[in-house]
Amino acid sequence: MTLSIFLHLYQPADQMEDILEMVTKQSYRPVLQGLQKHKAKVTVNVIGSLLELFDKYKYYDVLDSLRDLHKSGVVEFTGSAKYHAFLPLIPQEEIYRQIKMNTEALKFFIGADLEPKGFFPPEMGYNNTVAKVVEELGYNWIIIDEIAGSYLNGDLDPTANYKIKGTNLFAYFRDRRISNLIMSSVIRSKAGLVDAIKEDLKVNKYMIAGMDGETFGHHRPGLENFLFEILQSTEFDLKNISELKAAFPNVKEIEVVDSTWASSKNDIDRKQQFLSWLDPTNIIHSYQWEFLKFVTNEVYSLDKALPYYQEVRKKLDKAMASDHFWWASAKPWWGMDMIEYGAHLLLETIMSIPNLSSEKVNQTRKYYEDIISTAFTWQRSGLIRKMAKDQNAYLRIPFKDRTLGVGGAESGVYFAFIDMMRNLEKQAAANGEYEKAILWRDAVYKLENKSEIYDTINALDLLRLEIPNEYVEKIIGEYKEKYKQIRGGQPEQRGA
């Protein structure tokens, strides 16, 4: 089996120095050094804003590692958007700008000869406009989540290269299962991974595991060693994503849907696949996007020859970042500091324009105050907790009611699950796989208390390979099918 590993490295443009230091020490430095040591083929996206942070805080050794990896020709780098803008929701002109600025940063910091063949849209946010711009800028392929292809076409062919209908752009789809098994740290050893995908290993196919680079060492302490195990493994034929076309010459055309790597089928059904960045029921999102449009129009009206234009323009570039929209989603992610940060970037952009009319200054301040005051009101009133609770209720299936509650043979199914999970908890703890042991422990608790949130599906996914009983397999299939309807493509919707 061919395995392609994709790592996405990103920090906000104004990330605090102490946080950058922590993530660099725990993740970036050891991971990049490990890639240098093992000379394994991996596809990497490193956002331009992060490259500038490495330079600003003098992490020259990290930049040297990136340059060395590029020169070696083993690691493949992709293009992206410099300030991690959510591309499907910004003007087409800004999509071009963000991508071009990112390429300039890659060439400046990593190598003047760097010409990325592939493209990573932040959050794997995809629509037809993004595809059009990416193709026009000369990229050969784009990496997006599997739901973008499977939603209309069913199971994807793991032996084919897919060309997006109406374009010459190829789409490579992130495999949710293998990505989430790794990201959630359910599996921490090569042996565990091999066991979980042992049927896949028997077939000449490819799989793409796509993850935040910070997963290894920062979000999941010690998991970088598991990554290095994979890189040294003989069970997988490791290839960069760009090499898949030659290895699997079968080409199929495919129609893909607007989506992200967090989208669920239900999100797409309701045409709310961008929910975490633009929720039609979220007034803060409305204020944020209105504010961004207002500021963008003001900047567009400026004469580019003005001495202060470039400073103003750079502030707007930063304000395009996806973070402050995501942290205002409250389903379940919420961060007052990031909401204020984004609003302040927009405020600062406008206020740096000399001789602005009092009317526009007042409008700017009103947008800022509407965002901040609404966020504080939501937090003080307990609305944020209620929204999180409602979201959890939506993502809950009372498995106990559907088995033990029915009685008869279904009771045996329930107890079979509980016993198996308890035994596997003990085995995982004995093997030092503590995250895995915690997953089994939590799964039992949630099933027993009818409060299982859909992270439990990770446990059921592993059990599928262990339990031979056909009826239990049928129950798992039904449970997983229901899960697929509502669960996004990221464990915990985002690495914690």
At 350-363, the pLDDT tens digits run 999 999 999 999 99
Which is it for strands 141-145 and 118-119: parallel, antiparallel or unpaired? Answer: parallel
At 105, the pLDDT band (50, 70, 90 cuts) reads very high
Q: What is the spatial distance between Cα 377 and Cα 373, in angstroms, rounded to a whole number? A: 6
Q: Per-residue pLDDT for 478 more than 90?
A: no
Residue ranges of alpha helices (H) inside 449-469 are 456-463
Strand partners, 8: 45, 212
Virtual torsion, Cα 32, 37, 38, 43, nearest 10 deg: 30
Q: For residue 297, which of 344, 338, 346 has the smallest C-alpha distance?
A: 346
Q: Are 38 and 74 in contact (CB under 8 A)?
A: no
Among residues 122, 125, 82, the alpha carbon closest in space to that of 313 is found at 82
Does the pLDDT of residue 468 top 50, yes or no? Answer: no
Of the pLDDT bands very low, low, confident and very high (cuts 50, 70, 90), residue 32 is very high
Strands (E), 248-360: 251-254
- Residue 64 in contact with residue 84, Cβ under 8 Å? no
Cβ-based neighbours of 482, under 8 Å, separated by 6 or more? 397
Q: Given pLDDT bands bounded at 50, 70 and 90, which one contains residue 465? A: very low
Calculate ∠ Cα 414-182-430, nearest 5°.
Answer: 60
Measured distance CA(486)–CA(397) in Å, rounded = 11
Query: Which pLDDT score, from 0 to 100, does residue 493 have?
Result: 46
What percent of the residues of the chain are helix, what percent strand, and what percent coil, each to the nearest 5?
55, 10, 35
Angle at 350 between CA 348 and CA 353, to 5 degrees: 110
Instruction: Please choose, from the candidates 203, 204, 149, 138, the residue with its C-alpha nearest in 3D space to the C-alpha of residue 172.
Output: 149
The Cα–Cα gap between 273 and 265 comes to: 8
Identify the weakest region by mean pLDDT among 61-65, 263-267, 305-309: 263-267
Which amino acid is it at 423?
N
User: Looking at residue 126, what DSSP letter applies?
Assistant: B
Q: Report d(CA 371, CA 195) in Å as an integer.
A: 49
> What mean pLDDT, rounded, does the chain reach?
88
Give whichever of 192-201, 267-276, 419-428 has the largest mean pLDDT.
267-276
Residues 52, 20: contact at Cβ < 8 Å? no
Helix (H, G, I), strand (E, B) or coil at 356: coil
Q: Is the pTM of this model over 0.75?
A: yes
pLDDT band (50, 70, 90) for residue 469 = very low
Residues 6+ apart with CB under 8 A from 307: none
Tell me the DSSP string of 57-106: TT-HHHHHHHHHHHHHT-SEE-B--TT-B-GGGS-HHHHHHHHHHHHHHH
At 408, the pLDDT band (50, 70, 90 cuts) reads low
- Res 461: pLDDT: 54
Give residue 76's pLDDT band: very low, low, confident or very high (50, 70, 90): very high
Tokens 């239990």 correspond to what residue?
472
CA 109 to chain CA centroid, nearest Å: 24
Angstrom distances, CA of residue 132 to CA of 135, 144, 148, 348, 449 = 5, 15, 16, 32, 49
